Amino acid sequence: MELVPTELPEVIEIRPVRHGDDRGWFSEVYKSSVLADVGLDLDFIQDNESVSAKPGTLRGVHYQLPPFAQAKLVRVVSGAILDVAVDLRRSSPTFGHWVARTLAASAGNQLFVPEGFGHAFCTLEASTHVIYKVTSRYAPEAERAVRWDDPDIGIAWPADLHDPVVSAKDAAAPTLDAQPDLFE
């Protein structure tokens, strides 16, 4: 596995090695010891998955407050997404900054999103299937969201994303400056 730092050092792109032959390929997509070697000794306790029928389906920017804050390891098993992490730690010098990577089943790359960051993605292909590991259970009482198109964050969504498919909850999410519950 190759661990590639992003513009936000806590967010890491992971590129598993694929070993191919005439049958296809094999890859180790998760290996706790590799992450532990770089200080990410995490206990992933739950796997989540979503399938989005249409390109332009947008989910996020989601996070959970402590004690249910979640680190996530995101990968795509069919299709492709623009995957985004937003620093929501008020005391961080990169507060409100974001980083994005295209994750595609064809590439096999993944994104590690630590606690203290919001997570969002936009599907780039039809029938995109996303799987992600999390370090804490889903807790509706701790669930929060920041508006996906907040101009103060300024996420550069795909240029052709004019009318995204978003949930009513995501469409009603507050902007970052109106968000009372963030990380300190």
Give the separation between CA 139 and CA 124, rounded to whole angstroms: 28
No. of helices (H) and no. of strands (E), the chain: 2, 13
- Terminal Cα distance for the chain, rounded: 32
β-sheet bridge partners, residue 83? 101, 121
Token pair for 60: 């996020």
Closest CA to 142 of 55, 69, 49, 60: 69
Q: Tally the C-alpha atoms within 13 A of residue 6's C-alpha that lie toward its C-beta.
A: 24
State the catalytic residue, choosing from 62, 97, 129, 162: 62
State the catalytic residue, choosing from 129, 132, 138, 162: 132
- Assess whether 132 carries a catalytic annotation: yes
Q: Tally the C-alpha atoms within 13 A of residue 8's C-alpha that lie toward its C-beta.
A: 25
Q: Contact, 10 vs 114, CB < 8 A? A: yes
Q: Which secondary structure element, helix H or strand E, spans residue 132, and what is its range?
A: strand 128-134
- Assess whether 63 carries a catalytic annotation: no
Active site residues: 62, 132
